[in-house]
Amino acid sequence: MERIYYNETAFSIFRTNYRNTEIQKLEELCPPELKEYCFFDKTKFWRYFYNRLLQEKNYKEMERTLAGTLYRYDPVLYHIYGLYNKEIGNIQTAQKFLFLSGIYTPDTKGLSDAFYNRLKNGHANEFWGLVPEPFLSKRDRHKFPAPLIKKLSELPVPKWLFTPKKASSGIRP
């Protein structure tokens, strides 16, 4: 179990080897008054934590810790990071992460469309230089939301980029 403290609140992240169905049963054991603070998935915790920081406009704490949580692709965390950059005035980074999140809302459509148009009018080589390394990882392609896959299919990028990684047979060649 890992505890993270923020503003005198302790968050507990339970690390388990259980399958998802068993984790759901464990979540039910968390007392109702503490349910908001118990997490069995670190990604769900970071989503909650950064949404909370964004609502509180605690940009100093976000700046200190958020970029380190983007080591794997997660659409919600990319969206939160884009919103954070929008709030602090870092528009180019906001455009990139809002587009790559695949979560397109009316208030962020203009920003994500600007990045899409930049890629659409550019070269495929430019794409590789603009997107972060975790986005290109094979292990997270199954997490790409359908709207993002649709947009990527319209760009001059290889189709394998938005094709989910095939399940391994467990047998090495």
> Over the stretch 142-165, which tens digit does the pLDDT of each residue have?
888 999 989 988 888 777 777 766
Tell me if 109 sits within 8 A of 89, measured CB to CB: no
For the entire predicted model, the pTM comes to 0.73
Q: Which residue has the higher pLDDT, 125 or 132?
A: 132
pLDDT digits (tens, 9 = 90+) for 63-102: 887 777 788 888 999 999 999 999 999 999 999 999 999 9
**Token pair recorded at residue 105:** 């809302």
Please choose, from the candidates 130, 122, 132, the residue with its C-alpha nearest in 3D space to the C-alpha of residue 81. Answer: 132
